[in-house]
Amino acid sequence: MGHINRADIFICVETEEQAKYVIPNIKQPYYIRIDSNVPSFSKMVNDCIKDCSNDIMIFCSKKVQPTMNDINRIIELVNQGYGYVGLYRFACFGIHKKLINTIGYLDEGFIWGNYEDDDFRIRMNYADIGFYEDETVKYTPGINASGRNCDIAKLRWYSQKYTIDKENKLITKHIRDVLPNTKLQYKNDIIFKKYKDSVHVKNSGTVYCEDKLHYFKIKYDYT
C-alpha cells in the first residue's frame, strides 16, 4: 500500500457564480460541476465518482471555501483509514474508491440534500468502517437548492428505507443500496479503521448524531 498524495477535487454547484466563492484558495487542478436541474446532491456526487481518475475524491458544495490545508488534511485522514472524511459533513468531504465498492453509491432517493449523510453513516456502521467529521473548513450556512423545500419527501424516503427502534437501539433497513456494476479501479489500497474508531462532532445537527444512532445495531430486511 502506498501513500496517496493527490485527489480529484469536484466543486458541485448550481451556477458558475457559486463556484467562484469555493475555489479561491485551491491551488491544484479541480473540476467544476454545474447543474441547476440535478434531482439530488447524491446524483451529482455519483456522476463525479464515475469520472474520477484518482483513488481519492473530494467534493465541495457551494457553502464552503476550503484551503489547501483542508484539502491535504482530507487526503491524509483518508490515508489513515477513515472511509469518509468530512470537514463540514457532506459540504466538504473526501472518500476512497474502495468505500464505494464496499457500501455502494450515495442514495439518490434523497431529493437534493439532507439525510443522505445520515444514510451513509448507517451503511458505514453496518460495514464496520470508521469515519471522521469535524467543522474546521470555512462554511457559510444557507438554504439548499435555491430554496426548494423537499424536507417532507426526503423524510418520507428515509422512513421507507429505515425503521428506527429507539427502545431496542435497532435500525432495520428495507431498501438495498446500489453497488457499482463494475468495481471502481484504484492503484493504492487502504485498510479501513473500525467503526468504533470514528471521530464525529457531538450535537452536529444531523439526525444520526442527535438521535445517537451511531450506538444502534443494524440489520437488513429486504422481504
pLDDT in tens, 27-39: 999 999 998 787 8
Q: What domains are defined for the chain? A: 8-220 (3.90.550)
- Name the nearest CA neighbour of 179 among 74, 87, 46: 46
User: What is the pLDDT, as a whole number, of residue 114?
Assistant: 67
Q: How confident is the model at residue 217 (pLDDT cuts 50, 70, 90)?
A: confident
Residues 6 or more apart whose Cβ sits within 8 Å of residue 28: 6, 9, 68, 71
Q: What is the dihedral of CA 205, 210, 211, 215, to 10 degrees?
A: 120
User: What is the pLDDT, as a whole number, of residue 203?
Assistant: 55
Q: pLDDT digits over 156-184, tens only?
A: 777 888 888 888 888 898 988 888 989 99
Is 9's pLDDT higher than 60? Answer: yes
Tell me how far apart the alpha carbons of residues 71 and 137 are, in angstroms, rounded to a whole number.
Answer: 10
Give CA 219 to chain center in angstroms.
21
Residue scoring higher pLDDT (71 or 115):
71
Q: What percent of the chain has pLDDT over 90?
A: 54
E-strand spans in the chain? 8-13, 31-34, 56-60, 84-86, 92-96, 131-133, 162-165, 170-173, 217-220
C-alpha cell at 85: 472524511
Q: How confident is the model at residue 152 (pLDDT cuts 50, 70, 90)?
A: low
C-alpha cell at 207: 439526525
Q: How many CB atoms lie within 10 A of CB 178?
A: 12
Tell me how far apart the alpha carbons of residues 59 and 49 are, in angstroms, rounded to a whole number.
Answer: 10
